[in-house]
Amino acid sequence: MHDLTDWRLAALTFMVTGYALGALLPALIGIMGRALVKSVVTLDSTIKNLGFTIALASSLAGCVLSLSVLLSGEPLYVEIQPSLPFGAMALHADMLSAFFLGVISLIAAAVSFYSLGYATGFLRRRNMALLVFLYNAFLLSMTGVVLSAHAFLFLFFWEAMSLSTYFLINYEHEDPAARRAGYLYVVMTHLGTALLVVMFVLLFSRTGSFSFGAFRDPGSRLPAVVQSVIFLCATIGFGVKAGIIPLHIWLPEAHPAAPSNISALMSGVMLKMGIYGMVRVYFDFLGPDIPEWWGILILIVAVTSSVLGVLYALTEHDLKRLLAFHSIENIGIILMGIGGALLFASLGNRPLASLALLAGLYHVLNHATFKGLLFLGAGSVLHATHTRNIEELGGLIKKMPWTAFFFLIGAVAISALPPLNGFVSEWLTFQALLLGFHISDLTVRIAIPLTVALLALTGALAAACFVKAFGITFLGLPRSDHAEGAHESSFSMIAAMGSLAVLCVVFGVAPSLVVSVLDPLVSSLPGVHASGQVLLGGGMMLIPQSDASSISPLALGGLLVAATLFPVAAGYLFGGRVRKRVVMTWGCGLEKIGPRMQYTATGFSKPIRMIFSNIYRATHEIEISEETSPYFRPNITYELRTESVFLKYLYEPAYHVIIGSARMVRRIQTGHIQTYLAYIFLTLVLLLLFAR
């Protein structure tokens, strides 16, 4: 066993030093090299290749470390010397940490390879050393977050993660929207961190130690009220990072502003750090005594996030903003699993809680792969066309066939269609929720059907949104010169997308791979402490808790392929080869159709905007210039705005309260030094009086 530990320590050391070197070395070369090397481009591409290759190698080491813990089931624990006060300073990789480390490393590996090609777009234009430094620092801080076993260390890495992403959002800082997004992000994320500090202090007050091992100790329980305060702090603090509604407002601004490889990491992985924190606190620290309202609260947050996330995504025509709203939706779906787990655990049904949590964690992995893939695809489109506005795109499937194909796989996966991975985790979530029907508790009996209904609604709306996103972007005729002049991306970008697409298929058709790893993980958490009892065998996944509900995605995939050959063969036997004639699309009697006659993204989502008009509160303005005759209108401007309920009714009042109270406080700030001296004197007198 000693060998195994040594070997894993080596992987850990390799990964951590790798990221650190990947951050520092290119930065040093960048600073030193300016003086020595004349050609900036040569220098920058060296920095780029070196930095992203080191990141790739480190993330592969992370994958190895994660797999070794997950497969052997033996946690890794490393104490760091010299230690800080209040508990041992340590890194740990238990099953939960190792799983999230695996998610980070898997996506980071693909994104690092992608960046080798993608970042060439920044040569000559941007500071490459800065990008590489921040990129590696971002990856290092995320791995640090999941590996920390001490609150100080955790908060350090948490802040490092927030700050590195703040600078990455501001990477293209000439854009005022990026600066605004960065500011909003840093304000919101620090609101979250403040609550996390409160949470850790409360946990400290219970144990007198800041080490995670002490938090887990069931010996000294806090009163239920304090437990609930900790729960709320964790939900809000981690919820800001995860982007739950109504704490999501930074997310659709920040994710599109960052470079696309960073967006893929932020959306695919960084949001999951919030989920990691929640699972760690709810099921590990707060342990088995869970009141019922926790689960209900999380379920409410989950359905709000998922339904509103997908509805807002439908009205977007900025490809990256659209994907960012879908991240909110998917976080909602993940939280349905976690909320269900809390609810079932509070009612003592541990196997069911285990199943629900397993479904949520499965969706964590799946969302990371397909959302990573989709953001990389969006980056590829942005790289080729220099626009994120899908109203200006179209016809890219002919210009960028590989990007289109992989984006389509991602779109099918995120729409939860069989046999890809999104379908499997949503199926598990449905199963877990439907099994709640056997619990005879009135709250559950009302909460569960509503959650199920809204999960079904979310899935259907997501499919509608991705028909729009893929169809308008890649199909039809190019709507602008940007799309007309597009070209396929470089090999490294295509290969990275391809590898994530393969993962979407593998995690779809071979759920036993994932479930067999996740089940021991979930069982090891004190808050659940039971197996989800998913039977695996012959590619089949069976839930014995119900009366044998089962699917076999592998057989489904196989049958689907076989069944596709059937009509091909039947058609051939009956009518011979397909005789084809290629002509222009029918133009309703006009000579030919033009790109402007196609449906737009705004037009596509119109029926849904009408159906859900109460939620959108859309206002539109039509401006028509009539110069010569009402029949020939040279210019029609159509502007559509949807109202964000949360900005108007939550954030604006809060903003006014804060600004108002700041104005009140300002009255004592006169600006005269005499007044301030008087304040000091008064304070001194008061202190002397009380300290006597």
Partner 1 sequence: MSDVLTFVLPALLQLVLVLVLAPLICGIIGKTKARFQHRQGAGILQPYYDLAKLLRKEVVISSVASWVFRCTPYLVFASTCLIALLVPTVVVPLPLDRVGDIITVISLFALGRFFVALVGLDTGSAFGGLGASREMSIASIIEPAMMLAIFTAAVTAGSTNLSIIVAKLSSTPASMMNPAHLLAFSGLFIVTMAETGRIPVDNPDTHLELTMIHEAMILEYSGRYLAFVEWSSQMKLVIFLALLSNMFFPLGMAASMSPWALCVGGAAFFAKVIVLAAVVAVVESTNAKLRLFRVPELLMVAFILSLLALILYFIIGA
Tell which positions 425-464 bind partner 1, by CB under 8 A.
Answer: 427, 430-431, 434, 437-438, 445-446, 448-450, 452-453, 456-457, 459-461, 463-464
Q: Is 593 in the site for partner 1 (CB under 8 A)?
A: yes
Residue number with CB closer to partner 1 (61 or 554)? 554
| Phi and psi at residue 582, to the nearest 5° | -100, 120
| Closest distance to partner 1 from the beta carbon of 81 (Å) | 53
| Closest distance to partner 1 from the beta carbon of 436 (Å) | 10
Stretch that binds partner 1, among 73-81, 95-103, 148-156, 392-400 (CB under 8 A): 392-400
Residue number with CB closer to partner 1 (563 or 689)? 563
| Closest distance to partner 1 from the beta carbon of 363 (Å) | 15
Q: Is 603 in the site for partner 1 (CB under 8 A)?
A: yes
| Closest distance to partner 1 from the beta carbon of 454 (Å) | 8
Which of 24, 418, 530, 533 contacts partner 1 by CB under 8 A? 418
The span from the CA of 689 to the CA of 275, in Å, is 50
82: DSSP letter:
S
Rg of the Cα atoms in the chain: 27
Residue number with CB closer to partner 1 (588 or 673)? 588
Q: Is 580 in the site for partner 1 (CB under 8 A)?
A: yes
Q: Is 417 in the site for partner 1 (CB under 8 A)?
A: yes
Stretch that binds partner 1, among 131-139, 168-176, 424-432, 682-690 (CB under 8 A): 424-432
Classify residue 494 as left (phi > 0), alpha (psi -120 to 50) or beta: alpha
Q: Is 571 in the site for partner 1 (CB under 8 A)?
A: yes
| Longest Cα–Cα distance in the chain | 105
Comparing CA positions, the residue from 434, 447, 451, 432 lying closest to residue 518 is 432
Amino acid in position 86: F
| Closest distance to partner 1 from the beta carbon of 372 (Å) | 21
Q: How far is CA 216 from the centre of its chain?
A: 27
**Can you list the alpha helix ranges (DSSP code H) found in 148-243?**
151-169, 176-207, 212-216, 224-242
| Closest distance to partner 1 from the beta carbon of 336 (Å) | 14
* Residues 206 and 222 sit within 8 Å (Cβ to Cβ): yes
* Residues 258 and 169 sit within 8 Å (Cβ to Cβ): yes
User: Contacts with partner 1: how many residues (CB under 8 A)?
Assistant: 84
Residue number with CB closer to partner 1 (240 or 412)? 412
> What are the tokens at 37?
């090397």
| Closest distance to partner 1 from the beta carbon of 476 (Å) | 4
Q: Is 605 in the site for partner 1 (CB under 8 A)?
A: yes
Residue number with CB closer to partner 1 (121 or 419)? 419
> What are the tokens at 567?
């009509």
Comparing CA positions, the residue from 135, 121, 188, 106 lying closest to residue 19 is 135
Residue number with CB closer to partner 1 (274 or 410)? 410
3-state secondary structure labels for all residues of 601-618? HHHHCHHHHHHCHHHHCC
Q: Is 415 in the site for partner 1 (CB under 8 A)?
A: yes
| Closest distance to partner 1 from the beta carbon of 472 (Å) | 7
Q: Is 149 in the site for partner 1 (CB under 8 A)?
A: no
| Closest distance to partner 1 from the beta carbon of 636 (Å) | 17
Question: For residue 2, with 0-12 CB atoms within 10 Å meaning exposed, 13-18 middle and 19 or more buried, which class applies?
Answer: exposed
Q: Is 397 in the site for partner 1 (CB under 8 A)?
A: yes
Q: Is 636 in the site for partner 1 (CB under 8 A)?
A: no
Residue number with CB closer to partner 1 (270 or 501)? 501
Which of 124, 173, 398, 487 contacts partner 1 by CB under 8 A? 398
Comparing CA positions, the residue from 465, 484, 492 lying closest to residue 387 is 484
Q: Is 683 in the site for partner 1 (CB under 8 A)?
A: no
Q: Is 467 in the site for partner 1 (CB under 8 A)?
A: yes
3-state secondary structure labels for all residues of 517-552? HHHHHHHHCCCCCCCCCCEEECCEEEECCCCCEEEC
* Residues 257 and 182 sit within 8 Å (Cβ to Cβ): yes
Which of 38, 579, 667, 672 contacts partner 1 by CB under 8 A? 579
Q: Is 606 in the site for partner 1 (CB under 8 A)?
A: yes
Please list, in sequence order, all residues whose beta carbon lies within 8 angstroms of the beta carbon of residue 71, skipping any fewer than 6 positions away.
517
Strand partners, 636: 624
| Residue whose pair of structure tokens reads 């005594």 in the numeric block | 289
Residue number with CB closer to partner 1 (599 or 649)? 599
The span from the CA of 321 to the CA of 571, in Å, is 43
For partner 1, the binding residues in 473-502 under the rule CB under 8 A are: 475-477
211: DSSP letter:
B
Residue number with CB closer to partner 1 (578 or 636)? 578
Residue number with CB closer to partner 1 (588 or 664)? 588
> What are the tokens at 588?
């309703």
Question: 3-class SS at 150?
Answer: strand
The span from the CA of 372 to the CA of 368, in Å, is 6
The span from the CA of 341 to the CA of 444, in Å, is 12
For partner 1, the binding residues in 529-568 under the rule CB under 8 A are: 540, 542, 546-552, 555-556, 559-560, 563-564, 566-568
243: DSSP letter:
T
Q: Is 581 in the site for partner 1 (CB under 8 A)?
A: yes
For partner 1, the binding residues in 215-254 under the rule CB under 8 A are: none
Q: Is 641 in the site for partner 1 (CB under 8 A)?
A: no
- Crossing angle of the two packed helices 511-524 and 491-509, in degrees rounded to 10: 70
Which of 416, 432, 518, 525 contacts partner 1 by CB under 8 A? 416
Stretch that binds partner 1, among 208-216, 250-258, 343-351, 593-601 (CB under 8 A): 593-601
For partner 1, the binding residues in 20-49 under the rule CB under 8 A are: none
Q: Is 586 in the site for partner 1 (CB under 8 A)?
A: yes
